[in-house]
Amino acid sequence: MEQVTLKDIAKALNLSTSTVSRALRDSYQINKKTKNIVIEYAKKVNYIPNPIALSLKGNTSKAIGVIVPEIANHFFSQAINGIEDEAYRRGYHVVIFQSHESLEREVDIIKHLYDRRVDGVLISLSASTKNIDHIKNYSENNFSVVYFDRVPKDENVNKVVVDNFKGAYDATNFLISKGKKRIAHLTSPPELSITVERLSGYKKALADNKIQEDSNLIKFCDFKSKNHNKAINELFENSNPDAFFISSDRIALSFYEEFQKRKLHKKDKYMFFGFTNLAVAHLFNPPLFTVVQPAFEIGVQSAKILLDNLENKKDKPEPKTIILKTQMKTN
Amino acid sequence: MEQVTLKDIAKALNLSTSTVSRALRDSYQINKKTKNIVIEYAKKVNYIPNPIALSLKGNTSKAIGVIVPEIANHFFSQAINGIEDEAYRRGYHVVIFQSHESLEREVDIIKHLYDRRVDGVLISLSASTKNIDHIKNYSENNFSVVYFDRVPKDENVNKVVVDNFKGAYDATNFLISKGKKRIAHLTSPPELSITVERLSGYKKALADNKIQEDSNLIKFCDFKSKNHNKAINELFENSNPDAFFISSDRIALSFYEEFQKRKLHKKDKYMFFGFTNLAVAHLFNPPLFTVVQPAFEIGVQSAKILLDNLENKKDKPEPKTIILKTQMKTN
DNA sequence: ATAATTTGTGCAATCGTTCCCAAAAATAGA
DNA sequence: TCTATTTTTGGGAACGATTGCACAAATTAT
């Protein structure tokens, strides 16, 4: 099973490579008979154009890059799933990289992807990324970028996000409706857009229910679990919470660890809400209710924007923002 | 920031492209002075060889394919993590595909990867894959394949697996040591090698403890959750189990769903052991003890074998099998 | 029958590299 | 000073595909 080239076909059929090429691309200039012969033969020997040669010629690699903080996270792996689905359908392949929440690696990867001539990039920013200067460099010349989930504050970029405000509002509201009055909010670093939006949803729900907000109940955490304990300790010692709204998978897990260590799960006093895509949250002890993001759909939509851009090279398309709805899981 | 080519450098420095090329690859035939000038200038203009041109010339894409049943599964995403790590370090990139447990898609993907000229493939077989005829076709001519986790029975292929027998033996033994006598085993389809190996570990532990094995306690399940209930029902109605050793993430989750539906988690009667990489199993109610596979390490080792093969083109290397240890998590 | 048009095919350049081969320049030996 | 050798450089083919251009053959019009 050696790879067949145009030249092989040309030689076998006693034609020039150009004729063969044109016949296969169904050019109008080629005789129908010749066309049929060529097509027949190509099928027989299982000819597939060499995608690398095509890339070199066409200056396009039919590959898109994806950068996420971490693959082994349900939200991201589902999003990748969606990206993959759309990309595959449209003849692109997907190259995946992880920033491991490090700006430095993010910079590296972007450069690498650019050097490797991927046609565009989908990215969910690392927690340590404060701005997108390192990406703007590239995105200027015909190198499309779409941000999803963890997006920059900038206006004129492509983004796909969820309605974080509403998600947080609904979750908080739910807890209040169950009689909770001192709802702690453990959330991601304040630089991230998701943090800000969720925080204001939380605050609005409190306000709408005439509950005084207490800054001691709000804790910002990075994604390193060793730093989580401090926040959790402070909460329990000083703030007397009766429910927890936790903004990320990682923090929620640390929290449960700590919670079990303290044997607090025996008491039925507390309620828990997370903003996560953990498929198994309801199996936890005590159960973790969740605001679920349509991760797969986020992936699909992001890929759609990117690929539409790529295939529409003529004029620079307007930057697009898509906002998807979250969903509550409370069972 | 346009991409600089060899020709650009040559023109700027009034040299030929061949000289520039050689200078950059540090050929002995080039004058030191010239070399320095070229290297200096290349650095200044940020020259990066076009990987696509390199691929076309060298007939190698510096890309490896990975096929897994499902990305959104902790075991696989961690394994991919390991693969990525090793590949990235060695200058390869990783293209990921999902078979969704379908042989048909697996066949498609293999062909696609071959057509796209990836240098080799790492694969964990789909549950519906009974043999590897569809892969052998390709792996004959300089297209390396390494199997991991879900591997074929064939002898002369590269494999990376865990010691499934011992993992199952230890888990079963643990349950017995806690006084359990009627340990049910829910496991994957009997065609998979992992199924067979784990089953025999389970049986050996029973035998070593002089416990009569009962075929009613053994249930094979595919990966479709709607088919799991039947098995679970039968177990509870006819077999009076007091512990469960469950061989896969997916089945374990179905099981917990059902278990909670029946409100059985109020009783402390049962114990649970899984053969999974769910990071959060101990947070479940009741807790799920686990046999953990070194997923990351499996990825690294698999990638190592593949890349070593690729870089050692001279003679066909002997097929390698690596068996890694599992680890028990019982807290 | 001759010119004009249509139709079918091939040549060669291109994309960015590498590398064989030959040519030019520099050095050595006499 | 003039070969002989070594060092350094350039020309051009190759990798596999596409495509503008030229040209031959076939067809039609006059």
- Do A253 and B280 lie within an 8 Å CB cutoff? yes
What average pLDDT does this structure show over B305-327? 87
pTM value > 0.85? yes
Instruction: Give residue B314's pLDDT.
Output: 57
The reported pLDDT for the residue numbered A66 is: 96
B116 vs A: CB within 8 A: yes
When pLDDT is cut at 50, 70 and 90, the band that residue A139 belongs to is confident
Question: Which of B135-149, B180-194, B302-316 tops mean pLDDT?
Answer: B180-194
Residue B227 has pLDDT above 80, yes or no: no
A25 CB below 7 A from strand C atoms: no
Return the closest-CA partner of residue B162 out of B187, B198, B116, B134.
B198
Query: Which pLDDT score, from 0 to 100, does residue A99 have?
Result: 92
- At B41, which helix (H) or strand (E)? helix B32-44
- Enumerate residues 6+ apart whose C-beta is below 8 A from A319: A155, A156, A157, A158, A159
Q: For residue B53, say whether its CB is under 7 Å from any atom of strand C.
A: yes
The bases of strand C with some atom under 7 A from any protein CB are: 7-12, 14-20
| DSSP category for residue A284 | B
Say what the pLDDT of residue A34 is.
84
Contacts of B53 in chain A (CB under 8 A): 56
Distance CA B17 to C1' D12 in A: 11
- B34 near A CB under 8 A: no
pLDDT at position B54, please? 92
The confidence score (pLDDT) of residue A315 equals 65
Judge whether residue A22 contacts strand C, using its CB and a 7 Å cut-off: yes
**C-alpha–C-alpha distance, residues B265 and B70, integer Å:** 29
Q: Is A78 on the interface with B (CB under 8 A)?
A: yes
Q: Does B56 sit within 8 Å of A52, measured CB to CB?
A: yes
The per-residue pLDDT of chain B, averaged, comes to 89
Q: What are phi and psi of B160, to 5 degrees?
A: -130, 120
Is residue B324 pLDDT above 60, yes or no?
yes
Gap from B49 CA to C24 C1', Å: 29
Lowest mean per-residue pLDDT among A184-198, A214-228, B203-217:
A214-228
- The verdict on A141 touching B (C-beta cutoff 8 Å) is yes
Please state the rounded mean pLDDT for residues A183-212: 93
Q: Cα dist. A164→A202, A287, A319 in Å? A: 10, 22, 20
Length of chain A: 331
Q: Which of B289, B297, B279, B319 is nearest to B149 (CA)?
A: B297
Number of other residues whose CB lies within 10 A of the CB of residue B171: 29
**Is the pLDDT confidence value at B264 over 70?**
no
Q: How many CA atoms lie within 13 A of B134 on its CB side?
A: 18
pLDDT for B35 beyond 80: yes
List, for residues B113-166, the tens digit of each pLDDT value: 888 889 999 999 998 888 899 998 887 667 899 999 999 989 899 999 999 999
**Structure tokens given for A295:** 């991760």
The confidence score (pLDDT) of residue A186 equals: 93
Instruction: Give just the sign of the alpha carbon dihedral A102, A103, A105, A110.
Output: positive
Q: For strand C, is any atom closer than 7 Å to the CB of A3?
A: no
- Return d(Cα B280, Cα A283) in angstroms, integer: 10
